[in-house]
Amino acid sequence: MLSCGIVGLPLCGKSTVFNVITRAGAEVKPYAGGKTDPNKAVVSVPDARFDWLVSLFSPKKETPASVEFVDLAGLSQGASKGAGLGNAFLSFVENADALVHVVRAFANDDVPHPLDSLDPLRDWQTVEMELIFRDLAVIENRLGRLAGKKKLQPGEEQELPLLERCQAHLMEERPLREMVLTAEERALLRGFAFVTLKPELVVVNLDDSQREENVPGLADLRQLGRERNFEVIGVYGSMEMEMADLSAEDQAAFMADLAIDEPGRNRLIAGAYRLLGLISFFTVGPDEVRAWTLHDGEKAVDAAGTIHSDLARGFIRAEIAHYDDFAAHEGSKAKMREKGLLKLEGKDYTVRDGDIIEIRFNV
């Protein structure tokens, strides 16, 4: 299962955001980087389409899509040189498939900011630079080893100029995720577990007295996100963690007061799912309604193999009904078939987010 590592400076509210997302009840206290073991939780992906299909079929079993979140210890300034948890923290980051980067906007006199002032843009840049320094150290170490060889192997001859390109890019204080890389180049880099190559979602942790437009530096961070293609989501972390215990009516009243249409939890999980490049397809029936996870761009035969290896091995055709058409016709395949909306596709059909799939196979 793919996982999102939650990163940020100490005392930015990462564990609070983790609890908002997971409702796991992880301990939240004002420690400054002394904890090493990460909190982990697998959460269901909120999806109104899945909920509607469950209400339609009333199945014996319902299985939503899921994703794992890992609450990592705070990254101290200077971690790349051993400060704070140093390499212990960075080794946890290496294992994540994507990063949820929490930056602090809330004020709390009982929990002083480690850099003595609130500045979301500066905090984002601080952590980003530590991750860049880590990747630079990995490259410098590898280039030193290659330089000591009398003769490079064929794979190393390709690796050398690619690493030099990566090094030059990082020296411009730009993460590797912003580089244009071919699939072959990404394969060459995979073994290095570069942390700045991982996709990133930025979460601004607010308190309920704030409005986003009045937070100093937040507009600049959002503008940077638009320029550099990362999403910025604002969340009222502490309040939303407490709100989870309220009734649906009280939750709605709280959200109305804050002028938000959707709980931060839902926005964060959906954002993380997109960040990982994932889509959902469905299988439906009276026994089970299930949301399955694929990488965007994968094919019908990949969907079959996700369900069971026998389905991929004996694949004949995939019957495809897209959710939008299925819902518009109240779940009637007969009506869809009349209008040509029910399709039979081969192995190379590219699965769309929201496809309802039935695999025809013979083993």
């073994």: which residue's tokens? Answer: 191
Q: By C-alpha distance, which of 112, 101, 353, 308 is closest to 225?
A: 101
DSSP secondary structure code for residue 245 in this structure: T
**Comparing 5-14, 202-211, 291-300, which segment has the lowest mean pLDDT?**
202-211
Work out the percent of the chain whose per-residue pLDDT is above 90: 58
Task: Check residue 25 and give its pLDDT.
Answer: 58
Q: Is the CB of residue 177 less than 8 Å from the CB of residue 99?
A: no
Task: Check residue 84 and give its pLDDT.
Answer: 47
The pLDDT tens digits of the residues spanning 159-213 come to 999 999 999 999 999 999 999 999 999 999 998 999 999 999 999 998 877 777 7
Work out the percent of the chain whose per-residue pLDDT is above 70: 91
Tell me the CA distances in angstroms from 125 to 27, 61, 89, 119, one per residue in order: 27, 45, 18, 10
Token reading at 256: 């109305």
Question: Residue 311 above 80 pLDDT?
Answer: yes
The arithmetic mean of pLDDT across residues 94-109, rounded, is 90
Return all residues near 85 (Cβ < 8 A) that are at least 6 apart.
33, 36, 73, 74, 75, 76, 79
**Comparing 92-96, 113-117, 258-262, which segment has the lowest mean pLDDT?**
258-262
Instruction: Kindly indicate the confidence band of residue 297, based on its pLDDT and cuts at 50, 70 and 90.
Output: very high
DSSP secondary structure code for residue 350 in this structure: B
Question: Residue 82 above 60 pLDDT?
Answer: no
Q: Is the CB of residue 298 less than 8 Å from the CB of residue 338?
A: no
- Which tops the pLDDT comparison, 82 or 149? 149
Q: What mean pLDDT value characterizes the chain?
A: 87
The arithmetic mean of pLDDT across residues 238-253, rounded, is 80
Residue 102's φ and ψ, nearest 5 degrees, are -90, 130
Task: Check residue 363 and give its pLDDT.
Answer: 81
The pLDDT tens digits of the residues spanning 25-75 come to 555 554 444 455 678 889 999 999 999 999 999 999 999 999 999 888 777
Residue ranges of the domains in the chain?
A: 3-275, 297-361
Instruction: Kindly indicate the confidence band of residue 76, based on its pLDDT and cuts at 50, 70 and 90.
Output: low
Task: Check residue 77 and give its pLDDT.
Answer: 65
Three-state DSSP string of 203-216: EEECCCCCCHHHCC
The arithmetic mean of pLDDT across residues 139-163, rounded, is 88
How many other C-beta atoms lie within 10 A of the C-beta of residue 252? 12
Question: Residue 86 above 70 pLDDT?
Answer: no
Q: By C-alpha distance, which of 179, 99, 102 is closest to 139?
A: 179
Task: Check residue 33 and give its pLDDT.
Answer: 45
Question: Residue 361 above 60 pLDDT?
Answer: yes
């320029």: which residue's tokens? Answer: 227
Which amino acid, residue 160? L
Instruction: Kindly indicate the confidence band of residue 217, based on its pLDDT and cuts at 50, 70 and 90.
Output: confident
Q: Is the CB of residue 59 less than 8 Å from the CB of residue 286?
A: yes
Question: Residue 341 above 50 pLDDT?
Answer: yes
CATH code 1.10.10.10 for 3-275: no
The arithmetic mean of pLDDT across residues 17-32, rounded, is 68
Token reading at 296: 């965007």
Task: Please give the Cα distance from 318 to 358 (Å, whole number).
Answer: 6
The pLDDT tens digits of the residues spanning 313-334 come to 999 999 999 999 999 999 999 9
| Distance between first and last Cα of the chain | 28
In 3-state terms, what secondary structure has residue 277?
A: coil
Homologous superfamily of 297-361 in CATH?
A: Beta-grasp domain (3.10.20.30)
Question: Residue 248 above 80 pLDDT?
Answer: no
Which DSSP string corresponds to 151-197? S--HHHHHHHHHHHHHHHHHHTT--GGGS---HHHHHHHGGG--GGG
